[in-house]
Structure 1
Amino acid sequence: MATSNTVMGRHKMEATQAPVRPRKQLAAAMIGNTLEYYDFIVYAFLASVLARKFFASGDEVAGLLASFATFGVGFLARPLGGVIIGRIADTLGRKLALQITIFGMALGTVGIGCLPTYQDIGLAAPILLVSLRLIQGLAAGGEWGSSTSLIVESAPEGKRGIFGAFGQAAIAASNLLSSLAVAGVTAMFTTQEMDGWAWRLPFLFGGVLLVVGVWMRRSLHETPKFEEAQAAGEKAEKPTRKAALAAMGRAFGFTIIWTVSYYVMLSYLPTFMMKHVGLTQLQALASNSIALVVLVAMTPISGLLSDRWGRKPLLLACCVVFAVFAYPLFSLLLAHPSFGMAVAIQIFFNIFIAGFSGAAPAALCEMFPTKSRTTLLSIGYSLATAIFGGFAPFIATGLIQQTGSPISPSYYLVAAALISGFVILWLKETAHKALD
């Protein structure tokens, strides 16, 4: 009887696994990622407008700091979202978790596009703005870990790097989509129209998320690794508390340069270009968009190389580049401010952000066993993103205000690179090992 039950259980598991098509899983997760992170990032590109619309202050810098602080608030909710939604992903499935996140992000984004301003309702306006950013943060905190786990676990053996990289390229594409949307609206409307009402349009475009994202994610299947862990029940590998904390600590330190470089170079830099390099808003967004095309194109290549050469060589090379070149290239940009120089420097840095982004998703997933992967991965990643990435624009703006030097954001990049480089140096190479 026991043997019969075992056979039946095996057939049940095989039947569940049979429909899983890695490329279809990847496509559904990528489209969801693109749409979700579009909604989260578009806020950063409109920070200067939102500062005027939602924060009452005669001081331009104070208003911008308040706007970037609200951007960061969304990241504070990410670790909590990682715990709650990550737990759902590990116990009830990756598919259900990803369906939850799609609704949360849509609500937050379309809500911001519909909000009355400070002039209309006073203090209630920034309170509502912060509340909607918190909802976005909860959804985003569960999104990355759940989608990355699903993509990497669905990947064929030997291709975890490139599959994870395509998922990350989709997130980079969301930055590009955000940049293009804001640049397009900026080009179409006058400064007065943009400040009056047109700023709402990029947020409202995010309403597409609810239709396309939900439709795409209906086709997702649970991963073979998740099904195996569920079938094994209590026998499935589960790390001790000490091992779990150590792995989360490694994921936390690993992520610091990734999130700092991402949000300084991609979210904050358009504002930096306008205030300190003398570019117009349209030029700054165009420069960002050109560099993002490079990031989207190069990330899968990096993932492929990480499958062949290993994760560590690429990850360490990226840390070295940011530690060595951040200060001199910021100095060069400030000494020779021009659109061409801005594009060249952004492309250079984005090549190495792509190098890290291609290897990182698989490397992080490989740190954790399937039974608790999404929860532990989400916590380690989201904490680093909340502390160091979400407040990166705020910290960069504050450093410039305190030091009086526009080159000071480069110090933040250098420090982050040194910390993550030290952590990665001591990690084991996992590219050619089976996923636990």
Structure 2
Amino acid sequence: MNPNPAWHDTGKAVGSAIVGHWLELFDFIIYGYFAVQIGIAMFPQADPVTTILSSFATYAVGFVMRPVGSMVLGSMGDRFGRKSALVLTMMLMAGATCATGLIPTYNAIGLLAPALLVVCRLMQGFAAGGEWGGATTFLVEHAPANRRGLFGALQQLGTSLAVTSAALVALTLNTILSPEDLQAWGWRVPFVAGILIAPLGLYLRNRVPETALFRAERELPEHPLREALTLHRRTVLTIAGIVVIWTVAGYTYGTFLVSFASQVLEVPSRYALLGTLTGALCNIAVIPLAGWASDRVGRKPFLLTSAAGFAVCSIPLFTIMAQARSGISVIAATAVAGVFSGLFSGTAPTYLCELLPTRVRYTALSVGYNGAVMLFGGSAPFIATLLVRITGTDIAPSFYVTAAAVLSFTVIACVRAPDPAKAIDR
């Protein structure tokens, strides 16, 4: 007999949130690491920058559906339970990812290839729209009152582990396969393989009980989305403003930098991927420390430090990379970005949950977060590439990151921090 069933349930919640989140985000992120190969396979061939633009434009399409997914799946989570929505997101993500790896090339089926790719990205985006907010809500609501910062940080480890594992897979394939084999079939392997590990995530999520806070709600909302966008509209907009730098920096230093370093800076792909891996490892090291410390000194100082760091350091980091054009400079830049991102990732999940009541937390959190991801993060690789092309300046992507950092710093500074002792239990 389990001597402490509450802690046993909490442990299962942590495991299911991290593993499930990792599986879904791995499926969603892997596209960015093979954007060059996908662009060549699925679009008419042109100059390298145009090919990358086409691929990243399709990448951004997936983010258009994220707010839609957040509204539908978030409302489902607030009305019928967090578990049911999270299980559905995983099924949709796994199916769309596998299908992406099976699409024939443009040379084989013409314009149907990019059309099918867009459909798969739309489905992935819909699923991702319900994943982050649901997993965050689920874990923070399961956490002990005095450990919510740490538990929210552990949830975000799923994202960093997804980036790390995706980078490792991409690095391994780039190392063991010739460029010809990688282009012909190698890039498809992680997409098809994603369907094989999805059952593990589904198994774990099905075995975790619903959160006590959700079960304690006496009257569930009939229209969570309407309530979130009327009674809590200002909070939803605040959440979007807070996470702008988080999503822009993540997709710029993570996804975009791999193609940018190899195609524009002419740094070998393996070094670009190694840089992404280094940044993710720095992120993983900082996240739990920031979450743990936030339970003692508050969340807001870490968020402000992160935004200020990106605002001050992004232009110098891109300048160093543009001048050095070396693997070492890329690795150093992503390591610094990984530390700043870790400060944000370790505290933001719990901080954002504390801004919202239980009855519409899943919906409002998902809508605010995914709205920012769609407008600023998902388009970051495309905007960054376009800035390089328009300005002719290799450091142009840093201007976008700096502007995002200033915006988020301003919003965070103006928000009155909630009382952690009372925020969640309402």
Is 2:34 the counterpart of 1:41? no
Q: Is the 8 A contact 1:183 1:286 kept in 2?
A: yes
Q: Of residues 360, 383, 387 in structure 1, which corresponds to 2:371?
A: 383
- Please give the secondary structure, in 2, of the residue aligned with 1:247: helix
Is 2:221 the counterpart of 1:212? no
Q: Which residue of 1 aligns with 2:403?
A: 415
Question: Whole-Å Cα distance in 1 between the matches of residues 348 and 80 of structure 2?
Answer: 26
Q: Is the 8 A contact 2:78 2:221 kept in 1?
A: no
Is 2:339 the counterpart of 1:348? no
- The letter of the residue matching 1:90 is D
Q: Of residues 126, 148, 172 in structure 1, which corresponds to 2:136?
A: 148
- The letter of the residue matching 2:341 is I
Aligned-pair identity (%): 36
How far did 1:20 drift? 6.6
Is 2:412 the counterpart of 1:424? yes
Question: Whole-Å Cα distance in 2 between the matches of residues 424 and 391 of structure 1?
Answer: 22
Question: Whole-Å Cα distance in 2 between the matches of residues 104 and 46 of structure 1?
Answer: 21
Q: Of residues 204, 209, 216 in structure 2, which corresponds to 1:228?
A: 216
| Deviations 1:352-404, CA, capped at 9 Å, x for gaps | 10000111000111111110111111111001001100010000000000000
- The letter of the residue matching 1:74 is G
- The letter of the residue matching 1:385 is V
- The letter of the residue matching 2:14 is L
- Please give the secondary structure, in 2, of the residue aligned with 1:159: helix
Q: Which residue of 2 aligns with 1:325?
A: 313
Is 2:117 the counterpart of 1:129? yes
Q: Which residue of 2 aligns with 1:104?
A: 92
- The letter of the residue matching 2:55 is S
Q: Which residue of 1 aligns with 2:246?
A: 258
How far did 1:123 drift? 0.6
Structure 1 residues 431 and 309, CA gap change in structure 2 (3 angstroms)? farther
Q: Is the 8 A contact 1:36 1:102 kept in 2?
A: yes
Question: Whole-Å Cα distance in 2 between the matches of residues 183 and 63 of structure 1?
Answer: 21
Q: Which residue of 1 aligns with 2:295?
A: 307
- The letter of the residue matching 1:377 is L
Is 2:65 the counterpart of 1:77? yes
- The letter of the residue matching 1:319 is A
Aligned residue pairs total 418
Is 2:370 the counterpart of 1:393? no
Structure 1 residues 248 and 114, CA gap change in structure 2 (3 angstroms)? same
Q: Is the 8 A contact 2:177 2:186 kept in 1?
A: yes
Root-mean-square deviation (CA, aligned residues, Å) is 1.8
How far did 1:430 drift? 2.4
Q: Which residue of 1 aligns with 2:127?
A: 139
How far did 1:139 drift? 0.4
Q: Which residue of 2 aligns with 1:3?
A: none
Structure 1 residues 378 and 246, CA gap change in structure 2 (3 angstroms)? same
Is 2:266 the counterpart of 1:278? yes
Q: Is the 8 A contact 2:240 2:371 kept in 1?
A: yes
- The letter of the residue matching 1:181 is V
- The letter of the residue matching 1:337 is R
Question: Whole-Å Cα distance in 2 between the matches of residues 240 and 115 of structure 1?
Answer: 38
- Please give the secondary structure, in 2, of the residue aligned with 1:114: coil
Structure 1 residues 413 and 234, CA gap change in structure 2 (3 angstroms)? closer
Q: Which residue of 2 aligns with 1:12?
A: none
- The letter of the residue matching 1:357 is S
424-433 vs 354-363, greater mean Cα deviation: 424-433
How far did 1:314 drift? 0.5
Instruction: Write the mapping of 1:164-179 to structure 2, written as runs, cut at 5 A.
Output: 164-179=152-167
Q: Of residues 197, 207, 215 in structure 1, which corresponds to 2:185?
A: 197
How far did 1:328 drift? 1.3
Q: Of residues 46, 49, 52 in structure 2, which corresponds to 1:61?
A: 49
Q: Which residue of 2 aligns with 1:10?
A: none
Structure with larger Rg:
1
| Deviations 1:142-177, CA, capped at 9 Å, x for gaps | 011111100010000121111111111111110111
How far did 1:432 drift? 2.8
How far did 1:210 drift? 2.2
Question: Whole-Å Cα distance in 2 between the matches of residues 208 and 299 of structure 1?
Answer: 29
Structure 1 residues 265 and 233, CA gap change in structure 2 (3 angstroms)? closer
Question: Whole-Å Cα distance in 2 between the matches of residues 384 and 233 of structure 1?
Answer: 27
How far did 1:278 drift? 2.6
How far did 1:124 drift? 0.6
Question: Whole-Å Cα distance in 1 between the matches of residues 67 and 228 of structure 2?
Answer: 21
50-59 vs 124-133, greater mean Cα deviation: 50-59
Q: Is the 8 A contact 1:239 1:369 kept in 2?
A: no
Question: Whole-Å Cα distance in 2 between the matches of residues 240 and 204 of structure 1?
Answer: 37
The runs of 5 or more residues in structure 1 that have no matched partner are 1-16
- The letter of the residue matching 1:417 is A
How far did 1:410 drift? 0.4
30-39 vs 56-65, greater mean Cα deviation: 56-65
- The letter of the residue matching 1:40 is F
TM-score, normalised relative to structure 1: 0.93
Structure 1 residues 340 and 94, CA gap change in structure 2 (3 angstroms)? same
Q: Is the 8 A contact 1:263 1:392 kept in 2?
A: yes
Question: Whole-Å Cα distance in 2 between the matches of residues 282 and 18 of structure 1?
Answer: 45
- The letter of the residue matching 1:164 is G
Q: Is the 8 A contact 1:164 1:362 kept in 2?
A: yes
Structure 1 residues 88 and 418, CA gap change in structure 2 (3 angstroms)? same
334-343 vs 278-287, greater mean Cα deviation: 334-343
Question: Whole-Å Cα distance in 1 between the matches of residues 44 and 219 of structure 2?
Answer: 57
- The letter of the residue matching 1:198 is G
Question: Whole-Å Cα distance in 2 between the matches of residues 141 and 232 of structure 1?
Answer: 25
TM-score, normalised relative to structure 2: 0.95
- Please give the secondary structure, in 1, of the residue aligned with 2:232: helix
- The letter of the residue matching 1:151 is L
- Please give the secondary structure, in 1, of the residue aligned with 2:264: helix
Question: Whole-Å Cα distance in 2 between the matches of residues 273 and 432 of structure 1?
Answer: 42
- Please give the secondary structure, in 1, of the residue aligned with 2:362: helix
